Structure formats: structure tokens, C-alpha cells
Amino acid sequence: MEWVERMNNAIQYIEERLEGQIDYQAAARIACCSVHHFQRMFSFMAEVPLSEYIRRRRLTLAAFDLQSSDIKVVEVAHKYGYDSPEAFARAFAQLHGATPTSARHAGTKLKAYSRISFQISIKGAAEMNYRIEDLAGFAIVGAQESIDHQHAFEKVPALWEKAASEGLFERLWEIRAEASPLIGILGVCADGDFGRSETFYYMLSIVSNEAPPEGMVRREFPAATWAVFEAEGGPEGIAELWKRLYTDWLPVSGYELAYLPAIERYLPPEENRNELWVAVETKK
């Protein structure tokens, strides 16, 4: 399928640049999605963050170089993007449990991580409840935080706990737009620095026509088509939706991901469900 081919082409781009600078934005363009979606998609499918995959692959190749040649440690360090031999030695020992110098000796145990390859696998026939919505442009207002991809699953729940304790949701509810299909508290995942860092923005927000209060920001959305997925139960269902969006729905849907932030819509507890809104375009 085209989607799998694009992901594998993006991995090819990364593999060819393990000895230099890797432009995440370029890799995402090859996969035909935003940097934010590309990093999240990779993490869900490979079960390891993209940055960690690249680190493991570089240190795997570094170990091969040390074993098969008399290249100096400082040259290997620079070859794989480390500013100093000391930083390289720390990273090498953390992964392999051995120093770069000892890697040259016979009998030293090292770890090897092979290149990843994406494939389509047929699983069960578990249903995904979704609908397609066409929305006019709207704006959201809320509190925005920078989150690194590698620790998102710990930091985002902590943001929700902090917001609840500080009364943020009550303040947001006071400025809500009454007539909106997106009524409710929204967790918005945005690109932030658009690929120039390992972070994205997570915004606790609400659809609003008001100016942002002090300490909050406003973000505009254009008219777009959205795929909306329902998850029964509490917030834990949203994480499973993200994974199935990338692994189950997207490869066979006939849609591509649009370059807009995704939205997690959290409804009142009595409704016993939440929603994931992802902007899409018909596959070209």
C-alpha cells in the first residue's frame, strides 16, 4: 500500500543520514504528513520514540565501526553526531554496557538494533466507530505547554491534573462558544516548532470567540474535513484510538492526514465517551 511505502521511504531517508544531520520535516514530507503526526505514528507503530530509534541505530553502527576498523573513538563520535568523545562514551556505555575502547576487544558483549521496516498485518475485525465532519473555521483559547515526544505519555496526564487543581477548566468554560460541535474541554496536539526540535505543543483549551485571558493563547483553525473517532469510557481510551488511527484506520481509509493540529475532545463524565478529531484530506 502507498501508506506503508511512504513510511518505509521515510525510514530510508533517515538511514541514509545516520552519519549526519536528519531533518525530521523532510522525513515527514516523504511520509506525507506533519512532523507531529510522523513522530507519533512512528512511536505507536515501532513502540519506541523516533529519537530513540535513531540513537540506537547510530550507536549500533558505531560499535560495528569500532570492531571492524582502527578508526579513532573521537572520529566515530563526530561521525555519528556527538559533540565530544565524552558525550559519545556516555551514550555508548548506556546502550551497550561497555566503553567504546572495550568494544574493540574480543568477547565484549554489545547490542545491535536493526533497521526497522513497516508492513501491513491483518489482525482482528475489531470495529472503530467514526464519522466524517466538515467544519467551518473556528478558534480555540487555552493554556499551552511544550512537551517532548519521548515523555509525552507521562507529562500530558500531569498537565491535566495540574489544570484541574488550579481551576483552569472552570475558567475555560466561562469563555466557551455556545454553538459548536466541538463543545467540551479540548486537548490539542500541535506541531510547535514544526520539526526543528523534539517537542510539540499540547494545549488545554475550549472553542471560544473571546480574546485569550492573561496566560492563555488563541489558535485559529481553517475550514476542514475531520475524521472523528469515539472511545467509550474514560481518557485512557484516547491513547488506544491514537494507535489504531495509525495502524488500523489510516492505511485503508482512502484519506491522508491534513497539516492541522489534532484534537482530543473530552466530554462530561455522564456521557461515558470521548472523541479524537483528526483533520483529513481525500487521498490524492
Structural domains in the chain plus CATH codes? 2-104 (1.10.10.60), 130-282 (3.20.80.10)
**Phi and psi at residue 136, in whole multiples of 5°?**
-70, 170
Q: Helix (H, G, I), strand (E, B), or coil: what is residue 248?
A: helix
- Which amino acid belongs to residue 217? V
Pull the grid cell for residue 92: 555508548
CA distance 197 to 192: 9
**Phi and psi at residue 75, in whole multiples of 5°?**
-70, -40
- Which amino acid belongs to residue 197? S
Per run of 10 residues, the mean pLDDT along the chain (length 284 residues) is: 82 93 89 80 83 93 92 93 92 93 89 85 65 94 84 81 92 91 88 54 93 93 94 75 82 83 86 89 80
Pull the grid cell for residue 271: 456521557
Q: Which of 232, 7, 269 is CA-nearest to residue 115?
A: 7
Question: What does the DSSP 8-state code read for residue 107?
Answer: T
User: What is the bridge-based pairing of β-strands 255-257 and 273-282?
Assistant: antiparallel
- Which amino acid belongs to residue 167? G
CA distance 217 to 202: 12
Question: Half-sphere exposure of residue 202, counting CA atoms within 13 Å on the CB side?
Answer: 20
Question: Could you tell me the CA-to-CA distances from 55 to 18, 70, 80, 283 in Å, in that order?
Answer: 9, 22, 9, 33
Give pLDDT, residue 44: 78
Alpha helices in the chain (DSSP H): 2-15, 24-30, 35-46, 50-68, 73-79, 85-96, 152-165, 168-174, 236-244, 250-253
Residue in the block written with cell 565501526 = 65
